[in-house]
A = this chain, B = another copy of it.
């Protein structure tokens, strides 16, 4: 068993600390956020800090790093008020990871990494054509986190597109069927395998497994 206290954590070398603290939070939802700049140029970035805020209204947040480190996506979202979030699958994980490179303003990561922008319905920002689960959000609020100059960006889900066989009758998405990946740390990517779903828990006996697919 290894133990670290506050003063040890503060003395770590920068990359060691980034690796460890980013793993400490556990597996993350990793997605591609699609936006468009004021000149209409598409932009795509990988984000591993998507967080569920609430279902009704359907609010989803992500943490944007300080502006000096990452300003393209948040600036575009402020400009257009709309953005897309796209799940990542194993067949394009390398391209998705590559969007984390610091490309100059005006360069589209879609073209640089080889992913396909897809424009759907009347939504003016690009989805990722290769993604099996994707949705668009309307910006609701950007909350500054003064502790470290990051931002909680919150959007409301306005459009969802999902491959049909992924949705269960009760609305649950079988993300193992879509082969949606998750991430760990700043550079590790993972596939998953279902243990099970569990029934709604009430005080008393332990909630039991919900057997999927008629098992």
A152 & B157 in contact (Cβ 8 Å cutoff): no
Q: Complex: how many Å from CA A12 to CA B135?
A: 16
Residue of chain B at shortest CB distance from A173: B23
B residues in contact with A160, CB < 8 Å: 2-4, 9, 20, 24
B residues in contact with A22, CB < 8 Å: 52, 55
Q: Which bracket fits the contact residues of A?
A: 35 or more
Query: B4, B193, B204: which contacts A190 (Cβ < 8 A)?
Result: B193
User: Contacts A193-B191, A194-B188 hold; do A56 and B25 have CB atoms under 8 A apart?
Assistant: no
Q: Complex: how many Å from CA A173 to CA B58?
A: 33
B18 & A55 in contact (Cβ 8 Å cutoff): yes
Q: Complex: how many Å from CA A209 to CA B187?
A: 9
Q: Complex: how many Å from CA A133 to CA B23?
A: 10
Query: B12, B100, B191: which contacts A195 (Cβ < 8 A)?
Result: B191
A95 at the interface (CB under 8 A from B): yes
A181 at the interface (CB under 8 A from B): yes
Could you tell me the dominant secondary structure of chain A's interface residues?
A: mixed
Q: Complex: how many Å from CA A16 to CA B169?
A: 8
Query: B19, B182, B187: which contacts A27 (Cβ < 8 A)?
Result: B182
Q: Complex: how many Å from CA A172 to CA B66?
A: 23
Residue of chain B at shortest CB distance from A140: B147
B residues in contact with A84, CB < 8 Å: none
B residues in contact with A207, CB < 8 Å: 94, 97-98, 101
Q: Complex: how many Å from CA A54 to CA B4?
A: 18
Residue of chain B at shortest CB distance from A23: B173
A49 & B49 in contact (Cβ 8 Å cutoff): no
B157 & A24 in contact (Cβ 8 Å cutoff): yes
- Please provide the chain A residues from 166 to 206 with a CB less than 8 Å away from any CB of chain B in the complex: 167-168, 170-173, 175-176, 180-182, 184-185, 187-204, 206
Residue of chain B at shortest CB distance from A52: B25
Q: Complex: how many Å from CA A15 to CA B171?
A: 8
